[in-house]
Amino acid sequence: MCGLGGLARLDGRNLDASADGILEAMARTLAHRGPDDKELLRDGAVGMAFTRLSLVDPEGGGQPLISDDGSVVLIANGEVYNHRELAGTLAAGTVLRTKSDCEVLVHLYQQRGLSFLEDVRGMFGLILWDRQRNHLLLARDHFGVKPLYYSRNRERLVFASEIKALFSDPQCPRQVAWDDALASPALTAAPVIDHARPTTWFEGVESVPAATILDIDLADGTTRTHTYWKLPSFKAGAAADVQALVHDFREILASSVSDCATADASIGLFLSGGVDSAAVAALASQTVQLETFTVLSGSTMANGDAEHAHRIAEKLGIPNHQVEFHGSLVPTVDEWQHLLWLTEMPTCGPEQYFKHELHRVVKAEFPHIKGMLLGAAADEYCGGYSVLTAAGGGWQGFEASLAEMARGGATQRRPGLSAWWEGTESGLLTDSALERWGPVSDPYSAFVTAKMRDIQQYNCWHEDRTAAGSGIEARVPFLDRRLVELVSTIPVGLRERLLWDKAIIREAVGDLLPPEVAQRPKVPFFYGDGTRHTQLMFTRMLVQDGGALLEMALASPRGSEYLDADRMRETVRHLEKAPMSGYVERLLPLLNLCLLDVMTTELPPPPSESAARLPEIRPRVPVTDWDSEQEGLSRRVLTAPAWSERSVLRLADEVTLLRSSTDDTTWYLAVNGSLEYVLDDDSQEWLAFLRNLDGVHAVDEVCAIAGLSVGPLGALLDESVDLGLLETVETDSSLCKR
């Protein structure tokens, strides 16, 4: 991993000495991406800034890389995994002067022109200056794993690996793209299939598309776009043999893991407890020594991720470091500002926080590790979202949900069409009629194609930044074009067989993992059984210090034009009473937009400098025997309940317990006059508790009156208090009857 920055004149003139200060500022801003070396170059119309993280050829692989005749200058961020194979295809007499995996790109360009990336396997963002043609090339890998952004006006172009570095140029706009952001499904989480180009969240800033070369003529700025690879269509494939597909998937994945695990530095792995990272761990441990790292939080304790990660590592005979996030942890305002500026994305949330903290632990305690393997991106192409999206309906339910999402995407692009769905269950228009506004005839193909956008907009973006903040390179074996091309050939008739709940992955690595791991259902990172622990952590972050983060956000120059400050404050106050009411996920992206708006007005210090003010790293908890230590681990990380047996509770003011007028055994909880919860035959003990709740007796006394035990009601009491359905009555404990 490295940091790329620079600028170029687009009017045939040369850069003057003022560019040196901009290049120096860019290198300083990108120092976290490349802590091992820094190089600046200004020559004619082009200036380049390069900061290096040395994973391959630490001694001789510095950049810029320049051709023997001086006509081609290259800076590149990333890895070319098949560089040795590519070197074998070069013309006789070609001499590679370094062991850098990227040097082969210089010679490939000289011999193949714009076709030079077609056979490359790897992840990269690159800037290539062709002095003879007076052209500048900006390019990214097949999936956009490595970032590259630019901004341009009539006179010049500025480019960098991270948006914040573009702001080193005073001519680059510094403004959040509010209109685009507020309407983006990436921010609203609208259940639609979206094929729009990824947004950068900032006005006047563009990202180089994945699998694309921008060829820019420096004489006049004329730009040509060359796409060197396209995502397969994922339409009906030819007949195929299941076992052959599974075998080929295993072979390609093993090759990709081997590629990603190859470096002249140590490699680690984030082990989540799911089959994806377990598969990478099993394959990588056959060729390299691995240290693995796992989030140990209330959420991962409750949903089983932490336990499964420990057991996987134990089975494979590799070290596993459980990194503790204790139950009372609250990210500080300074921490959040640092992370948000590092990621540059309003979708920054709990996932980014946890991963950033893991990387910090690795940097501090395992400084020899410079690359981190991930199990990310398997879900997007291998059916990882099928069970969740199907909502209990099996593969047919999955396809039906995708069809609705595809129609939603079409009506989002042409909002007036939504009128034809009003008052009907499934609309009055045919899918063929909607096709002109978006692909709906093959919703699965449309869904997977949309995931290409998601990978660029979210997955690769945050994985890159959270790792880069600690000078570590994230490596993603599942994002290998050979794997995606293979999966795209699965015939329609075999989709359910191989892509329901990632069956193709489970079968491909089934012999390497215990059955309980290979067949373990997908568990969201912090959603599901353990959601409340993470939600409470971030609720506490928003309400700490009298809502300091909110007030800082509301100072945004443009935020006040878009957001109702009084309602935002009221929402935060409601969170204090009902932390699980769902408002955290609605509030946080809006607060992030505001904070980014503030940051562009007065640029924060570079991440490499603000990192020095972060709290101490999270402790690692040694685990020898999970079964005997589980209770102690739970005490460390599970969030304490907001009630006790001696708490006096009552229904919140807006909550009413109602009995059905037609069925004496069915009751409802109404919230603000709306029937939200049904209490039927399966809820009789909970109903008995609620009917005896009087705001006077303590929890244990209410249970005694109703003939109940407190223990079985614990989870429901947790949830009801967190949702604000029940609230604590402030009372002198001496008034409680004993």
How far is 664 from 56, CA to CA, in rounded Å? 73
DSSP string spanning 280-310? Answer: HHHHHTTTS--EEEEEESHHHHHSSHHHHHH
How far is 274 from 485, CA to CA, in rounded Å? 24
Contact between residue 532 and residue 582 where contact means Cβ atoms under 8 Å apart: no
Encoded tokens for 577? 């009473």
3-class SS string, 516-528: HHHCCCCCCCCCH
Name the one residue in this structure whose structure tokens are 């599901």: 528
DSSP string spanning 137-177? Answer: EEEE-TT--S--EEEE-SSEEEEESSHHHHTTSTTS---B-
Which residue(s) pair with 473 in the sheet? 371
Name the one residue in this structure whose structure tokens are 């170029």: 8
Encoded tokens for 587? 């509030």
Contact between residue 471 and residue 35 where contact means Cβ atoms under 8 Å apart: yes
Contact between residue 636 and residue 327 where contact means Cβ atoms under 8 Å apart: yes
How far is 274 from 303, CA to CA, in rounded Å? 11
How far is 523 from 532, CA to CA, in rounded Å? 15
Catalytic residue among 2, 348, 382, 460: 2
Encoded tokens for 128? 């290539």
- Nearest CA-CA partner of 307 in 288, 322, 318: 322
- Nearest CA-CA partner of 143 in 505, 476, 374: 476
How far is 26 from 47, CA to CA, in rounded Å? 11
How far is 1 from 467, CA to CA, in rounded Å? 10
Beta strand residue intervals within 44-142, DSSP E: 46-52, 65-66, 72-80, 122-130, 135-140
Distance separating the N- and C-terminal Cα atoms of the chain: 65
Query: 512-516, long-range: CB within 8 Å, 24+ apart, which pairs?
Result: 512/279, 512/282, 512/283, 513/275, 513/278, 513/279, 513/282, 513/312, 513/315, 514/311, 514/312, 514/315
Which residues, at least 6 apart from 480, have a Cβ–Cβ distance to it below 8 Å?
Answer: 121, 252, 253, 255, 256, 259
**Annotated catalytic, 2?**
yes
Residues taking part in catalysis:
2
